[in-house]
Chains A and B, each alone.
Chain A
Amino acid sequence: MKRLALYTASVLVMALLLLLPVSCIGNDEDFYAEFANTPRGNFTALWTIMDRHYCFFDLKKKELGVDWNQVYYKYNSSVSDRMSDRSLFEVLCSMIGELRDGHVNLVSAYDYGRNWQWKTDYPANFSKDLQDAYLGNDFIMASVDNCYKVLSDNIGYLAVKGFSSPMSSGQMNVLISNFALCNGMIIDLRDNGGGYVAAAEELASRFTEERILTGYSCYKNGPGHNDFSDLEENWLDPDMSNLRWTKPVVLLVNRGCFSSANDFANIMKSIPTVTLLGDTTGGGGGLPMVSELPNGWLVRFSSAPSFDPAMNCIESGVAPDIRLDMDEDDIKNGVDTYIEYARKLINDRIINIKVK
């Protein structure tokens, strides 16, 4: 009898255990509910993902007057379940375009949805033809993104076109060796759309002899618009195991400097021997994350803001030390206003009296 009771009990226990998974997977909260793969479902999914994860709503409200709840109502009436995918894509792109953030994109087969007004609404202040003319044919190509040469007045000129194909440590050593006898260095960062943050930091670490506070960072840690983690200090440590450059540097910046180029400009601005010359950078001070809509379109958004040492958000760009615009007459005459001004700063040793 006792054995039968034990047997019955064990069978019941096993039956309960086998049924347990049903109870485990049946209680998803509404918060995580999936959206339908319909135009309305995709619209709601995009709005909700941005609402819970985008990190610059307060800044965008302050600078652009964007109220994300109002944005929902503004575009809600444009969406119906009968509309085509292409029309939906256009509506969704317009919706996220309100944020004017280069890190906010909608990726589909139709297009890479974007709003680049942060760049296109401002003077270009850069001519690739002029840059090519200054580099000539005898420049050294350290990587796809990095070319350099010594200009006629003994100033090193380095064009950093991106941070996706960075120089190796050895290439940076050779660069600094080649510029060793130069009076100063011009780093042309214009139209650098970014790449790896680590590459930007590694390059910057060659221009300081001491540890420098370059800003702060945090990330979204909850669905509320103001849910952020504690601030982390960003320090630039000198690369003590490799060659470093301590002579004057003029960093040429324009609105085309975005993302990690924006970070690079912010870091370099904290270095006493570096002068930023040109226009405010394009911004992109938020580290992006990517999510997905029910129809498979990818949505990219900023989720981790960065700040300069004075706690100014760098999403809207880094202001130069010296404001300058390209001169149209100079361009016609084959002269790059930025490069010539930078040469003058170095040759006249004006940089030495710059107080940071």
Chain B
Amino acid sequence: MSTHPPSRPRVAVHKFSSCDGCQLAFLNLGEDLLTLAARVDLVYFAEAGPLDVDTEVDIAFVEGSVSTPEDLERIQRIRAHSRVLVAIGACAVSGGIQGLRNSVDSASWVAQIYDHPAAIASLEHSTPIATHVPVDFELWGCPVTSTQVLGVVNALLLGVSPRDDADKVCTECKRQGHPCVLVTHGIPCMGPVTRTGCGALCPSLGRDCYGCFGPAENANTNALSVQFARLGLDAQAIARRFQSINSQAPVFRLAAERTRTAGDE
């Protein structure tokens, strides 16, 4: 991607199927939000106010997963008007928690919840942005942090490529000096296979990481599944560990399928 510094970059924040939580990485900046607004030109941010869909922008942040027929068309328009497109959060990079519907007959769910199922426009699968358009940068996390999104804005302001850390939660946890919840307390922690970026928050409270930042690079899900079994988790419980916030991330999806298959034998 081209990274030459724009003078005052035009920034858009778009929402697809999501909880709105990743946009809060901007709206929760406190007084820094006013500083950001002075440095960048926010041209589309429905939740904050400005509404200008077809303006050319330098950076488009996209929250949420593609899950309706209308989404399919809207993401193409956004891509066509954006120099750099950044997918933010689990929904946008892996399909999110609502991706749990991808492995079931979700049409039957619509019929069970709504009296007028035909009026509900919902695609069978919840899919990440990159399934539909080229994505320049992906930020993992449920939710992404203000540090992550400002990192991208600042890198592009400086004209450099944004940095990304795909290491494991474990490395950050060790740096902070927390007792290992998996080894010390026998709690089935997802830290060994989960991408860092949150700040090892769960282990800092003495609890298990549940994988909300998605798979780390070189994640050894087999070894972790074996360890979970040693801790007494049955195949269903192990599969559930991988089938959570990022169930459709390929590494986690395969780990869950393998566990369930082994459990059936």
Task: Indicate, yes or no, whether A interacts with B.
Answer: no
